[in-house]
Structure 1
Amino acid sequence: MMSIFNIFDPSTSMMFSMNWISTIFPMLFISLNYWLIPSRWNNLWNFLYEFLNKELNVILKKKIYKINFISLFSMIFLINLMGLFSFIFTSSSHMSMNLSLAMPMWLSFMIIGWTFNTNHMLTHQVPQGTPNILMPFMVMIEFISNIIRPGTLSIRLTANMIAGHLLLTLISNNGNKLIMIFAIMLILIQTLLMILELSVAMIQSYVFMILLSLYSQEI
């Protein structure tokens, strides 16, 4: 019996990690109608862009920063979306992929913050109103919570992608052995799970973008 975790294996039958090519699939499958203005695809994406722009207005002030974070959201969301199709490898279900997105951005925030805004970074280690006796502990807690941020970002996205795919795989494995009435029920359940996974793909992309923007605002 094949392992259910084979769907997360980046290696192909030739023992090469060719499944990582699926990361660029979204760019290959974008409809040509998207580049025609106006079009339904363009209007849909503009609506999403305006929504994200309003959300980031509360956190970020400069337009160039907002464009960068919206681009990050678009990349993760399209990768998650393509992973919902059959036989397409989901690269965002791997820590190596997610950590390679979170770590450079977090590291650049830390370098810029400690280089150009040292006093603010130091004062941020102790929340306002902390009793003097608790200050050393608060510094340790804030330092540890700051260090593990890229890891928590990566684990959150990885765990949500793996959980949904495993659930769909486990439910569908025995579908061919069920009688008609139970097979119909199984199809309905899987349809609901696919809708849930579609929402998870968007929500996790949104959470990843918002948390990184919040981290950038702290510097």
Structure 2
Amino acid sequence: MTNLFSSFDPSTNIMNLSINWTSAFIGIMLVPSMFWIMPSRLNFMWSNLNFNLHKEFKVLLGNNSNGMTLIFISLFGILLFNNFMGLFPYIFTSTSHMALTFSIALPLWMSFMLFGWVNNTKHMFAHLVPQGTPGPLMSFMVIIETISNIIRPGTLAIRLAANMIAGHLLLTLMGNTGPMLSYSILSILLMSQVLLFILESAVAMIQAYVFSVLSTLYSSEVYYVNNTLKSAIPSSSL
């Protein structure tokens, strides 16, 4: 390694092919087994998790979500799997790179914005000014709300990548000091690394959940505007 961050570089080559990013697709190989292997405790646990996520996302999106929760449940599963894969030795952490996190956040945000601005342009403009805003502050609120909407995919991508990198760097720093320590201090270091590994496992779940929930909230804003417009129009005129 030329520096500490080079451990996150996708530089492994086998037969002149970089296989680092293939770790993001290993989970797809496990999906078909659910259709021909007898359900195990892991299957039941995963089904209960998906059911609870479906109920929570349905509350955020509304009762007429029409299966939109499946998109965000799938997003949660993909991020959760990739976050956990990065905790294993010699496996490339794909979610610690902006190339993956930004590639997920930007298309989601862009699709929400295009749907809202194309179908309900006036209501999206009205959404830039919160209710009760004084007249002299309306122009400033439009600028602030526009900037906050534009930086949403960046904040989603940076939040996930930064949290994944932070724990891995701390584990690497603590592991590099091991050969220079005595046996008594080394046992303390190992215990602290185990505790940090448990913390990183919790962070992997929390960050996947936060990413999917924030994406759901961003879509619910556009979805709420669209439903509000439809409910305001009489059914005879549709």
TM-score range, shorter chain: over 0.9
1:6 aligns with 2:9: no
Q: Could you tell me which of 82, 100, 113 is aligned with 1:79?
A: 82
Retained in 2: the 8 A contact 1:80–1:90?
A: yes
Q: Could you tell me which of 61, 68, 71 is aligned with 2:71?
A: 68
- Deviation readout 1:158-177 (Å, 9 max, x if unpaired): 10001010000000112122
Counterpart residue number, 1:182: 185
Aligned amino acid, residue 23 of structure 1:
A
- Deviation readout 1:35-67 (Å, 9 max, x if unpaired): 534311111101211221121121123241001
Counterpart residue number, 1:216: 219
Q: Provide structure 2 residue ranges, at least 5 long, that are not aligned to the other structure.
A: 223-238
Counterpart residue number, 1:167: 170
Retained in 1: the 8 A contact 2:171–2:193?
A: yes
- Deviation readout 1:1-20 (Å, 9 max, x if unpaired): 64221221012257754311
Counterpart residue number, 1:48: 49
1:39 aligns with 2:1: no
Q: TM-score, normalised by structure 2?
A: 0.86
Mapped to 1, the partners of 2:7 and 2:184 lie a distance apart of 28
Mapped to 2, the partners of 1:52 and 1:203 lie a distance apart of 13
Determine helix, strand or coil for the equivalent of 2:198: helix
Counterpart residue number, 1:24: 25
Retained in 2: the 8 A contact 1:26–1:82?
A: no
Counterpart residue number, 2:233: none
Counterpart residue number, 1:140: 143
- Shift of the 144–166 alpha-carbon distance from structure 1 to 2, 3 Å rule, reads same
Retained in 1: the 8 A contact 2:60–2:220?
A: yes
Q: Offset at 1:31?
A: 10
Determine helix, strand or coil for the equivalent of 1:59: helix
Mapped to 1, the partners of 2:189 and 2:90 lie a distance apart of 20
- Shift of the 31–166 alpha-carbon distance from structure 1 to 2, 3 Å rule, reads farther
Mapped to 1, the partners of 2:159 and 2:78 lie a distance apart of 17
My pick for the range that moved more, 105-114 or 45-54, is: 45-54
Mapped to 2, the partners of 1:74 and 1:143 lie a distance apart of 31
Q: Offset at 1:157?
A: 0.3
Retained in 2: the 8 A contact 1:92–1:157?
A: yes
Determine helix, strand or coil for the equivalent of 2:67: helix
Q: Offset at 1:27?
A: 3.2
Q: Offset at 1:96?
A: 1.1
- Shift of the 33–212 alpha-carbon distance from structure 1 to 2, 3 Å rule, reads closer
What percent of counterpart residues are identical?
53
Q: TM-score, normalised by structure 1?
A: 0.93
Counterpart residue number, 1:108: 111
Q: Offset at 1:180?
A: 1.5
Q: Offset at 1:23?
A: 1.0
